[in-house]
Amino acid sequence: GVGFYSAFMVASKVRVVTKAYGEDQAHAWESDGVEGYTISEAERDGHGTDVILTLRDEPETDGRAGEDDEPERGYDTYLSEWGLRDLVTRYSNYVRHPIRMMVTKSRQLPKPDDAPEDYTPEYEDYEELETLNSMTPIWRKRKQEVEQSDYDEFYKSTFHDWEDPARTIPFHVEGTLDYHALLFVPSRAPFDLYSKDYEKGLALYSSNVLIMEKCADLLPDYYNFVRGVVDSPDVSLNISRETLQQDRQLRAMARSVERQITRNLQDMRDNDREAYEKFFDNFGRGLKFGIYNSYGMKADPLADLLLFWSAREGKMVTFAEYVAGMPKEQEAIYFVTGDLRDRLEKLPIVRTVVDKGFDVLLCTQDVDEFTFQAMRSYHAAAVAGDSENPGRDACDLDLKNVTSGDLDLATEEEKEAAQKATTEHEGLFQALAQKLGSKVEKVVAAASPTDAPARITTEGPVSLEMERVLAQGPEGMDAPHSRRVLELNAEHPVFAKLVAAQDAEDDEKLGLYASLLYDQALLVEGLPVDDPVAFAQNVCSLM
């Protein structure tokens, strides 16, 4: 088979001497792997088989290897004790038959009776037949037979981590497909998890023989942090990467592995919240990206695994927990995105929404805005009611950024006041929009006044935070811009100053006020002003 003929990759000649049980004559098969083979009579003590490899000569190097070139494993490696031990433990550690090798060991000689006081212990080398492989894979043992400390030790030694795993997931599937699996959720994210060099995948075994160290097809990208092994006798030893991609059995195993991971993360979320919040701090970004990267198709299994900081509760909550605390009249899930949670909590619009009795999710990762755009809505399950809370039927709730202009949270009185201010001061709003030019789409009266004189909202799919994130892309990339709207608080004393400047036909002062209010609103949103020097000069001029 393929396993035997791979010997010619390192051997210039292979000789097999074999003698059947009960036979008197042994025979030898010999070949250089190029010009056929020969079979002849041979001598061998006892029955059994010897496979003898004559290794190739070491290749000559031209000395032009660069510093970044990886050193190739020489043929002499297969004559060294450490090289053979490494091969056996790496690929055949769990083969059920013992793999023995004569190894050289050292032991201390007995101390002579007449040894002086400054006697130095002496040692001698000796040879001993040692079994190199453990033969018993831990993933084939029943969970009741294995202590958690044994799982932890296996994980740390196999995957080179110094911390115990956050979650251990052993399971066995029988039926049309038979396989054992042992999965681990690490306690911390590896340093290269979000780099292009990181390789995901589970170790794939076939009947305890390793055939692929990292089989990427067994894990979806959003669970790329999971480590472990899958062992199935139904997977061929001769399988190739091309065959793997078309293998229906492998796809079935991948779906089962994904369900097991999801189920265990849900259990951690519900029964060990502290551990889950630590897990989410390490790996939550990948779950969010899984929703965005699938254009929202993976929202159903992943949305309920997400956590966000609640402005009202002051803690991390799930979507389901957010919905459970919603007032009956609330018809959407409100969120805001930015870089710092403390700054987001102080935004005037966030305080306004919370004061109206609605919660706001404070999202501080750059992927959050894109995740919500991909989801569009969250399917909320029915919530049981009681005498105080009437409950809620299952429904789809829109996800709304509070910095957008379509929240529709104003009361009828507030809407009428805004409309009245717009009608009475139409000329003022047009003049301000003309002063700001292409910076804004329009200037309007805020229907939901805050304690700030002005704020910036957006129209369309690009929010202020999304614009900021996209602006950090590769140099020369034409990033999209948000359609900004400057909303003025008609009840604020500053608005009276604007009206006075308009009535006095003080065009210069009106332009100064427009620039200051716009730049001030940008700073409140955590965005840089277009011209810091002009902003400083305008402040000094006003002073």
* pLDDT, tens digit (0-9, with 9 covering 90-100), for 284-327: 999 999 999 998 899 988 999 999 999 999 999 999 999 988 88
Indicate if the pLDDT at residue 47 is higher than 60.
yes
The pLDDT value recorded for residue 419 is 85
Q: How far apart, in whole angstroms, are the C-alpha atoms of residue 530 and residue 514?
A: 14
What mean pLDDT do residues 150-172 have?
A: 91
Averaged pLDDT score across all residues of the chain = 86
As a whole number of Å, the CA-based R_g of the chain is: 35
Report whether 230 contacts 257 (CB < 8 A): yes
What mean pLDDT do residues 270-297 have?
A: 93
**Position 388: which residue type?**
E
Question: Where is pLDDT greater, at 134 or 31?
Answer: 31
Q: Which of 73-87, 199-213, 275-289, 321-335 has the highest mean pLDDT?
A: 275-289
Q: Which residues pair with 38 in a beta bridge?
A: 30
Q: How far apart, in whole angstroms, are the C-alpha atoms of residue 447 and residue 441?
A: 17
CA pseudo-torsion sign 371, 372, 376, 380: positive
Report whether 71 contacts 77 (CB < 8 A): no
Report whether 292 contacts 368 (CB < 8 A): no
The order of strands in the sheet holding 26-31 is 37-42, 26-31, 11-19, 48-55
pTM over 0.85? The answer is no
> Which stretches within 205-330 are classed as H helix?
241-246, 248-271, 273-293, 299-302, 319-324
Q: How far apart, in whole angstroms, are the C-alpha atoms of residue 15 and residue 282?
A: 54
Indicate if the pLDDT at residue 209 is higher than 80.
yes
Indicate if the pLDDT at residue 53 is higher than 90.
yes
Q: How far is C-alpha 103 from the geometric centre of its chain's CA atoms? A: 43
| pLDDT band for position 71 (cuts 50, 70, 90) | very low
Indicate if the pLDDT at residue 248 is higher than 90.
no
Distances (CA, A) of 367 to 202, 295, 341: 26, 13, 15
What mean pLDDT do residues 258-264 have?
A: 95
Q: Which residues pair with 443 in a beta bridge?
A: 486
Indicate if the pLDDT at residue 138 is higher than 60.
yes
The pLDDT value recorded for residue 69 is 47
SS3 of the chain: helix, strand, coil, percent, to 5: 40, 25, 40
Pairing of strands 179-185, 100-108: unpaired
Report whether 353 contacts 334 (CB < 8 A): yes
- DSSP 8-state class, residue 460: S
Q: What percent of the chain has pLDDT over 70?
A: 92
Indicate if the pLDDT at residue 70 is higher than 50.
no
Q: How far apart, in whole angstroms, are the C-alpha atoms of residue 224 and residue 284?
A: 12
Indicate if the pLDDT at residue 1 is higher than 50.
yes
Q: Which residues pair with 203 in a beta bridge?
A: 229
What mean pLDDT do residues 458-476 have?
A: 74
Three-state SS letters, 93-128: CCCCCCCEEEEEEEEECCCCCCCCCCCCCCEEEEEE
Q: What are phi and psi of 195, to 5 degrees?
A: -100, 160
Indicate if the pLDDT at residue 527 is higher than 50.
yes
| pLDDT band for position 62 (cuts 50, 70, 90) | low
Q: Which residues pair with 398 in a beta bridge?
A: 332, 377
- DSSP 8-state class, residue 58: P
Distances (CA, A) of 138 to 91, 158, 218, 223: 15, 12, 20, 23
Question: Which stretches of 348-387 are assigned E, i.e. beta strand?
Answer: 360-363, 377-380
Question: Which stretches of 274-366 are assigned E, i.e. beta strand?
Answer: 308-310, 316-317, 332-337, 360-363
Q: How far apart, in whole angstroms, are the C-alpha atoms of residue 513 and residue 492?
A: 14
Report whether 48 contacts 18 (CB < 8 A): yes
The pLDDT value recorded for residue 117 is 85
Question: Where is pLDDT greater, at 458 or 188?
Answer: 188
What mean pLDDT do residues 58-69 have?
A: 58
What mean pLDDT do residues 175-185 have?
A: 90
Least confident of 261-265, 471-475, 518-522: 471-475
The pLDDT value recorded for residue 68 is 47
Indicate if the pLDDT at residue 115 is higher than 90.
no
Angle between helix 493-503 and helix 507-524 axes, rounded to 10 deg: 150
Report whether 253 contacts 232 (CB < 8 A): yes
Question: Where is pLDDT greater, at 441 or 17?
Answer: 17
The pLDDT value recorded for residue 2 is 63
- DSSP 8-state class, residue 72: P
Q: What percent of the chain has pLDDT over 90?
A: 38
The pLDDT value recorded for residue 67 is 47
What mean pLDDT do residues 197-213 have?
A: 88
| pLDDT band for position 388 (cuts 50, 70, 90) | low
Burial class (CB in 10 A: 0-12, 13-18, 19+), 400: buried
Report whether 189 contacts 282 (CB < 8 A): yes
Task: Tell me the two tokens of residue 464.
Answer: 């202020």
93: CB partners within 8 A, 6+ apart: 133, 134, 210
Q: How far apart, in whole angstroms, are the C-alpha atoms of residue 313 and residue 132?
A: 57
398-457 pLDDT, tens digit per residue, is 999 888 766 777 778 888 888 888 888 888 989 998 988 888 888 888 887 677 888 888
The pLDDT value recorded for residue 523 is 87
Backbone torsion region of residue 438, taken as left when φ is above 0, otherwise alpha when ψ lies between -120 and 50, otherwise beta: alpha
